[in-house]
Structure 1
Amino acid sequence: MHPSPLSQVPWWQDAVVYQVYPRSFQDSDGDGVGDLRGVISRLAYLQRLGIDVIWLSPIFASPNDDNGYDISDYRAILPEFGTLADFQELLAKAHDYGLKVMLDLVVNHSSDQHPWFVEARTDPQSEKRDYYIWKKPVDGGLPTRWQAYFGGPVWELDEASGEYYLHLFSPHQPDLNWENPALRHEIYGMMRFWMDLGIDGWRMDTINMLSKDPAYLEGDPIPGTTLTNGWPHFLNGPQIHTYLQEMHHEVLAHYDVMTVGETPEVSPQVGSLYSHPARHELNMVFHFEHVFLGDGERGKWSDGPWTLPELKQILARWQVELHGRGWNSLYWDNHDQPRAVSRFGHDRDYRVPSAKLLATILLFMQGTPYIYQGQELGMTNVKFESVEHYRDLESLNGAKELREQHGWDDARIPAALHARSRDNARTPMHWTTGRNAGFSSGTPWIGVNPNFLQINAEQAEADPDSVWHHYRRTIALRKSLPVVRDGTFELLAADHPTLFAYVRRSGQTQLLVIGHFSEQRGSYVLPEGFADGEVISNNLTHLEVQDGELTLQPYQAVVIQGN
């Protein structure tokens, strides 16, 4: 064990995290699947970028029903990715490079092929039966009509016993029963195993789903389906803070690690319950408010319009309301989201400046930033020709449901997947202009985005004006300015339709951050204290300033240090 040292500023408040989706990052052996040795081969690249922490999406043994988020052995490495020795080498070499390593903790559910569930299903009298959540039929049918995240009901009938088991995601991902102390003890032992090996943190998958309301009440009807919304009954449940405080007391408090919880449907007030240091739960949480913008009747598949004032309001509220009451995690992209430059920027005519703009807006906020692989290159959504090219379970199930239950045709469905499918983030990383973008010498498990000839790391590192170098410079600048970590946040021009502007202040230091989300030129009168300030970041090569008024080019972003 390595107890946390007494420190006024926790190291993770100054850190920048880089998420690696191992399956799509770098293949070292030509089987078309990225692996741990591939990650080892790219550690120098990550060090050059200036990040501090590598977050590895699940690398554990899994049947891959949901790309590794269905774990069959929490203490074993998926053979496609390598061995435990490979992981230990990765961990040691990352530490040699000054990089920390964070793993995914997926303990709301396991795989149905985990020995616990196999035993629970085979022998209803086994103690492992209570590691999962089982209910008898109600009126001859489902215990509730809650809808699962990947479609269909959350209950699956076990014909041998006549009982249903709960799965908030796929039927192959049965939910674990956190009310059972023996189950919690097993989880804590597994966590210690990895932390004793030397890992530096946990990203906790769907962590606010661990506690279910024991009443299992019916949810509100979901229009156009026979199912209901069960979210109020399994998100932020009655014992969730008890469980996390126990986890902290039993495990986390004994190691110098960072923790971030994936927590859909939380407000800043609830976020502070999870992340306030005095509560001894988590260091920070991922909220989803900004990435849910535009969701319509069919959720993410009804990708609708959103406005910049809406986006600003969400991000500003989290900045202001969590200041001094918790800690923010900052992200645009991850393995579950489409590419940010396609979602929030302009991935055609203004791909480079808008990708840089998004970097600027994100990296000068208070919190720990997360960069997803390829984000630093300005990688875009992929436009696969048909549904058959997708691999993501959520996308395939969604397409089936949209076709069969809602009558969508084969022209409308691919457009929805192009806009919001998780596979947009999961296409292989672009390294070179060579075969398969330098990702693999074999056939990749999922198609490569054809635009790798124009967007790849080799070219980006060679071009001082690239998105990659803007990220590198902005990360370094951020780390040199304590005001970014400590300062207050004030949103300016909240209702302006194209301007995202905010001020960070700490002591005598103040920064003005401006991003212009438009294909047209725009103007902005600088507030008092900034008219004669120093421009310390600019995503373009020039800036027009006259009599205290900026003339902003399309997707221009600047940072000015005031007097």
Structure 2
Amino acid sequence: MGQPTDWWRSAVIYQVYVRSFADGDKDGTGDLAGVRARLPYLAELGVDALWFTPWYLSPLKDGGYDVADYRAIDPAFGTLAEAEKLIAEARELGIRTIVDIVPNHVSDQHPWFRAARAGGPERELFHFRPGRGADGQLPPNDWRSEFGGPAWTRLDDGDWYLHLFAPEQPDLNWAHPAVRQEHEDILRFWFERGVAGVRIDSAALLVKDPRLPDFVQGRDPHPYVDRDELHTVYRSWRAIADEYDGIFVGEVWLPDTERFTRYLRPDELHTAFNFAFMTCPWDAGRLRTAIDETLAEHAPVGAPATWVLCNHDVTRTVTRYGRADTGFDFATKAFGTPTDLALGTRRARAAALLSLALPGALYVYQGEELGLPEVDVPRDRIEDPMHFRSGGSDPGRDGCRVPLPWAAGAPHAGFGGEPWLPQPDDWAAYAADRQAGDPGSMLTLYREAIRLRPEFGDGPLTWLPAPEGVLAFARAEGVLCVVNLAGTPAELPAHSALLLGSGPLDSAGRLPKDVAVWLSA
């Protein structure tokens, strides 16, 4: 096993979307008081760390990823003093804290952009350009927003500014030394307050080609994705993290394995999210390939893999696995997709044991341990800009952000006040208090799996012979994981004991379809 400072190499990290976690003051919005009250629940779940999506001052035009002040907690969530208490109280329970930094852009309400909008010298901190065409009526280039539509918005004075996301999220100019200095100061600010790590949003997008050329498919290098200058930024950040024994996890969406691995060199980021596994369909061959490629790409730089089934941007696992297309792609999201929740839940239980058995760190998005499904949020209640930027065709991401159910018999399923997003009528059936006493519940499965997980050790994974459609591998300490994705029951390999199963074996002691087990060799 690693040294104590290497906790992050095999940690179970729980993602908290504060707005929807627990509402302490009963105003309908989750807050830090709600999280503090639920710390015993998180400790009993057995997680090693909490990753908080942005809790900073924000107009919440994009769920808090539009930050107006990195040194202030949004009043809807609480205060800086409460955040400091939460970090300390969690640490007393053995739970570390990871905060989210959004370096690509800020809110249009950030003091820098308000000054820039007024014509001040702060314009140099962003990407302002005159338009094209006879009177500048066309955007400076053809870049498209990640949320749809042009990546440029024109101000009343005629100039345009760049935003790779929503217009309320102007992109920062990372060629300016003040932008770099500010973010280094922000890192120190939070490390000084006891956080153990930082998650870096859109980590491959910060640096732009200074010429801001039109996008040409296939041209290398890309004008704003994965530019080489980024690595200088992250080396300077790593030096700061090392002063505090802090760690980074990067949101790096890159199809090129070699380019991806560069971010994980020993003097850059500690870890990066593994999106190939998260978006992979429920298919044995493709899952095995995703696992093998992930481990292979991390091995040369000695970085641990990360595994995740879902997050605050992605269709919830029990819903996704209950559909004809069990993979995930933002481009294919649509209203009214037929779903078999019983099938999806069975597969999600098996996927939980699969992902928890893999070497590296695991991220669990809040509510996954309760088996929550994606919610069809009424169209008049949707807030996600992805929905509006798509002209209403994309259901957006609010369906996985519906506030959690805590107590079956309480108003609003124990969340607090009337939630900012409506909970379905059957939400109480998923309540944590109801599941806690049920040996067959998803919550009980997660608690037991996380409790047993250290028995796997920190060693390698060895694939075992198995029929087509069955994944079987051994981990250190003689523990086996077998997952049946085939159409028929599978014989188990030789073993001395059944440690845990996502479902029962059949009457002949075989592993049914869409069930996983952990075995002692």
Same fold (TM over 0.5): yes
Deviation at 1:337, TM superposition (A): 0.7
How big is the shift at 1:453? 2.6
Q: Give how far 1:220 is off.
A: 4.5
Q: Could you tell me how far apart the structure 2 residues matched to 1:215 and 1:544 are?
A: 68
1:73 and 2:69 correspond? yes
1:515 CA drift (Å): 1.7
> In the TM superposition, what is the alpha-carbon distance from 1:211 to its structure 2 partner?
1.4
**Structure 1 residue 315: Cα displacement:** 3.1
Give yes or no for contact 2:31–2:76 (8 Å, CA) kept in 1.
yes
2: CA distance between counterparts of 1:451 and 1:36? 26
Separation of aligned partners in 2, 1:510 and 1:422:
41
Q: Is the 8 A contact 1:147 1:229 kept in 2?
A: no
How many angstroms does 1:362 deviate by?
Answer: 0.6
Q: Which residue of 1 aligns with 2:515?
A: 556
In the alignment, which of 477, 485, 489 is matched to residue 522 of structure 1?
Answer: 489
- Does the Cα contact within 8 Å between 1:430 and 1:456 map onto a contact in 2? yes
How far apart are 1:559 and its partner, in Å?
A: 2.0
The alpha-carbon distance between structure 1 residues 37 and 55, as it changes in their structure 2 partners (threshold 3 A), is same
Equivalent in the alignment of 1:233: 223
Contact kept? 1:345, 1:358, Cα under 8 Å: no
Q: Corresponding residue for 1:534? A: 497
**Contact preservation (8 Å) 2:249, 2:272:** yes
Kindly indicate whether residue 316 of structure 2 is the aligned counterpart of residue 339 of structure 1. yes
Determine what percentage of the aligned residue pairs are the same residue. 33
Candidates 352, 357, 360, aligned match of 1:359: 352
Aligned ranges 1:292-311 → 2 under 5 Å? 292=279, 307-311=283-287
Residue in structure 1 matching 2:412, options 425, 428, 436: 436
Is the 2:11–2:360 contact (alpha carbons within 8 Å) kept by the matching residues of 1? no
The answer to whether the 8 Å contact 1:55/1:104 transfers is yes
Residue identity opposite 2:129 in structure 1: K
Deviation at 1:370, TM superposition (A): 0.4
Question: For the residues of structure 2 that align with 1:491 and 1:153, how far apart are their CA atoms?
Answer: 50
Could you say which residue in structure 1 is the equivalent of 2:480? 512
Q: Paired residue for 1:373?
A: 366
SS at match of 2:100: strand
In structure 2, what residue type is equivalent to 1:426?
R
Matched residues in 1 for 2:10 and 2:253: separation?
25
Aligned partners of 1:100, 1:493: CA distance in 2, in Å? 39
Alignment check: 8 A CA contact 2:274 2:305 kept:
no
Cα distance between partner residues in 2 of 1:135 and 1:490? 55
Structure 2 residue aligned with 1:103? 99
**Structure 1 position 157, deviation (Å):** 1.5
Instruction: Tell me by how many angstroms 1:145 deviates.
Output: 1.1
Q: Do 1:320 and 1:488's aligned partners in 2 also have CA atoms closer than 8 Å? A: no
Which of the residues 187, 192, 199 maps onto 2:195? 199
The partner residue of 1:148 within 145, 150, 157 is 145
- Name the SS for the 1:243 alignment partner: helix
The residue aligned with 1:248 is: 238
Amino acid at match of 2:484: H
Q: Which residue of 1 aligns with 2:275?
A: 288
Please say if residues 24 and 34 of structure 1, whose CA atoms lie closer than 8 Å, have aligned partners that are also in contact: yes
Task: Describe the superposition over 1:232-261 as per-residue Cα deviations: whole angstroms up to 9, x where unpaired.
Answer: 321111201111111212x21211122100
- Distance, in Å, in 2 between the alignment partners of 1:81 and 1:94 is 17
Asked whether the equivalents of residues 37 and 82 of structure 1 are also in contact (C-alpha less than 8 Å), the reply is yes
User: What amino acid is the match of 2:490?
Assistant: S
For 1:452, the equivalent position in structure 2 comes to 427
1:408 alignment counterpart: none
Which of 253, 262, 273 is the equivalent residue of 1:273?
262
Change (3 A) 1:333 1:358: same
Which structure 1 segments of 5+ residues have no match? 1-5, 222-227, 295-305, 403-415
Measure, in 2, the Cα distance between the counterparts of 1:107 and 1:340.
29
- Residue 266 (structure 1) shift: 4.1
- RMSD (CA atoms): 2.5
Distance 1:252 1:544 in 2: 54
- Whether the 8 Å contact between 1:212 and 1:238 is mirrored in structure 2 is no
Structure 2 residue corresponding to 1:86, chosen from 82, 94, 118 = 82
Could you say if the C-alpha distance between residues 274 and 533 of structure 1 is closer, same or farther in structure 2, counting changes exceeding 3 Å? farther
Deviation readout 1:54-98 (Å, 9 max, x if unpaired): 111110000111011000111011000011111122112111211
Match of 1:488 among 452, 458, 461: 461
Deviation (angstroms), 1:25: 0.5
How many angstroms does 1:463 deviate by?
0.9
CA pair 268-328 structure 1, distance change in 2 beyond 3 A: farther
Provide the residue aligned with 1:406 in structure 2. none
Report the secondary structure of 2:108's partner residue.
coil
Q: Deviations over 1:368-408 (max 9, x none)?
A: 10001110011111123x422322111232243x4xxxxxx
Identify the residue that residue 405 of structure 1 maps to in structure 2. Answer: none
Large movers: runs of 4+ above 6 Å? 228-231
> Could you tell me whether the CA contact under 8 Å between 1:503 and 1:510 is conserved in 2?
no
Give the CA deviation at 1:269: 2.4
Give the corresponding residue for 2:388. Answer: 396
Give the Cα separation in 2 of the matches to 1:229 and 1:164. Answer: 25
Paired residues of 2:283 and 2:485 also in contact (CA < 8 A): no
SS of the aligned residue for 1:232 comes to coil
Matches of 1:345 and 1:361, distance apart in 2: 17
Native 8 Å contact 1:147 1:230 kept in 2 = no
Q: TM-score, length-normalised on structure 2?
A: 0.89
Q: Match of 2:439, SS?
A: coil
In 2, the alpha carbon distance for the partners of 1:150 and 1:313 equals 30
Q: Tell me the residue number matched to 2:292.
A: 316
The equivalent residue for 1:159 is 156
Assess if the C-alpha contact under 8 Å between 2:252 and 2:273 holds in 1. yes
Contact 1:320-1:489 at 8 Å conserved across structures? no
Whichever residue aligns with residue 134 of structure 1, its letter is F
The 8 Å contact of residues 387 and 396 in structure 1, kept in 2 or not, is answered as no
* Distance across 1 between alignment mates of 2:369 and 2:219: 37
Mean CA deviation greater in 206-215 or 333-342: 206-215
- What letter matches 1:534 in structure 2? A
Q: 1:469 to 1:329 in 2, by over 3 A?
A: same
Structure 2 gaps of 5+ residues are 324-339
* Alpha-carbon distance in 1 for matches of 2:256, 2:518: 29
**Contact 1:432/1:452 (8 A) holds in 2:** no
Counterpart of 1:363 in structure 2: which amino acid? L
For the residue of structure 2 that corresponds to 1:359, the secondary structure is helix
Residues 319 and 328 in structure 1, CA contact (< 8 A), matched pair in contact too: yes
C-alpha displacement of 1:467: 1.1
By how many angstroms is 1:352 displaced?
Answer: 4.7
- SS across alignment from 2:500: strand
Q: Which whole-Å deviations, capped at 9, do the CAs of 1:329-351 have from their partners, x for residues lacking one?
A: 11011111111111135752245
CA contact (8 A) 1:266 1:287 kept: no
Partner of residue 131 from structure 2, selected from 123, 132, 137: 137
CA distance in 2, matches of 1:44, 1:423: 27
Distance 2:345 2:132 in 1: 56
Q: SS in structure 2 opposite 1:76?
A: strand
* Amino acid aligned to 1:18: Y
* The one of 257, 263, 281 aligned to 2:252: 263
